[in-house]
Structure formats: structure tokens, C-alpha cells
Amino acid sequence: QVQLVESGGGLVQPGGSLRLSCAASGRTFTRMGWFRQAPGKEREFLAVLRWTGGSPVYSDSMKGRITMSGDNAKTTVYLQMNSLQPEDTAVYYCAASGTNWGLSRAAFESWGQGTQVTVSS
């Protein structure tokens, strides 16, 4: 019954912003993460957050332009994205991990279906 559902993607102009949401159900994981995958490229780590607290950890690729957060009920995580550029166009995925280590795709055992983000004028 583990389910992760992303929402909030869409078409934005360069310089614009989006806030992605991920609703989690079925169980509580140790960590939640955000990844993206552009056409012809491998899935890329963006951010991770522990439900127990602490600050998110960000990839250098979007550091300074994204903010990850979670709600008090520990059921939804968010990814605020600012100053978006065409190279940010990708499918953005929410992921969950039962461990407290690892930033690779393999370290996250549950995945959402992805939400398309397109940055274009």
C-alpha cells in the first residue's frame, strides 16, 4: 500500500517558479528525496530530508534555487523551485528510503510516478 503521488508540475517560463508536492501513504520512511530525469540522461539526485528533523541536503546542480520541506504530519514533502531555466526541463520524481544513508537511485526503494516540468518561453 506504499504510494507516493507527485503533483505541481507543468509549463513555466524561464525565471519562473514551481512548487512540487509529494503525498506519501502506507508507511513512514526514514528519508524522503527528490530526483529528476531529463531526456537521454540518468536520474539525478536533487534533495533529501529526514523525517526526524534536520536540514535538507541538496545536490550542487540546483543548490540555491530549490528548497525542500515537509509538513508536520509527515505525509507530504515539497520542492520549491525558483529561477527555472530550460535545462531544468525533466520529469521530477519523489522517492522514499528506509535507510539513513546513500543518495543514489538504489538507496530509495519507493518512487512516485513523476511529474513533468517544462521550462520554455
Query: If we measure between CA atoms, which residue out of 46, 53, 38 comes closest to residue 91?
Result: 38
In eight-state DSSP terms, residue 105 is G
Q: What angle do CA 119, 117, 32 make, to 5 degrees?
A: 135
Confidence of residue 82 (pLDDT cuts 50, 70, 90): very high
CA distance 64 to 80: 11
In the chain, the percentage of residues whose pLDDT exceeds 90 is 89
Query: If we measure between CA atoms, which residue out of 115, 119, 31 comes closest to residue 68?
Result: 31
Phi-psi region at 107: left, alpha or beta (left = phi > 0; alpha = psi -120 to 50): alpha
Residue 71's SS3 state is coil
CA distance 84 to 64: 11
pLDDT digits (tens, 9 = 90+) for 7-61: 999 999 999 999 999 999 988 899 999 999 999 999 999 999 999 888 999 999 9
